[in-house]
Amino acid sequence: MATVGRNIAAPLLFLNLIMYFIVLGFASWCFNRFIDGQTAHPSMGGNGATGFFLTIAILAAVAGIVSKLAGGGHIRSWRSDSLAEAGSSSLIAWALTALAFGFACKHINIGGWRGWRLRVIEALIIILTLTELLYVCLIHAGLFGSRYGPGYRDTEYEDQPVPKGGHAITGSRV
């Protein structure tokens, strides 16, 4: 039986994964230009916050991609034992994305010429901050009821096979 949280989290996971890959690609390209001192490139530009922003954006993108791989396993199984891995990694990815969001706001606030790739990275980081928070809330939706997903207190699984010979009685030795 599919749950509400699972039906919404799966497309959001795929969307976030694609956006994180785009951020990683553009931020890596811009960081390479920044290291080489080619900030006069028409699609680069930048200001004093560019190096810090690109470093944190790359870190957030890598953590986000790894988080989505763990989240894919959780959405596939949708059990409480995979919730811990997916939940903790997505929370770390959201924290790093929120940090990159702060640097993006500072980068925009300082101003100056910023090429189109930097503006795309800024926009995607701002969007990812909100969508990653929504994703974190959706995979933790089981805390509010089993209709929304697996909770932390779920111990029984619906499709678990019964061992041959029935259930063993604990505490007795023959």
Structure tokens at 85: 């891995």
Structure tokens at 170: 């604990």
The string of DSSP codes covering 97-148 is HHHHHHHHHHHHHH-S-B-HHHHHHHHHHHHHHHHHHHHHHHHTGGGG-TTT
pLDDT in tens, the chain (174 residues): 456 777 888 999 999 999 999 999 999 999 998 888 887 776 777 788 888 999 999 999 999 999 999 999 988 887 777 888 888 999 999 999 999 999 999 999 998 888 899 999 999 999 999 999 999 988 887 666 665 566 555 455 555 665 666 555 665 555
CA–CA distances in Å: residue 62 to residues 57, 66, 123: 9, 6, 17
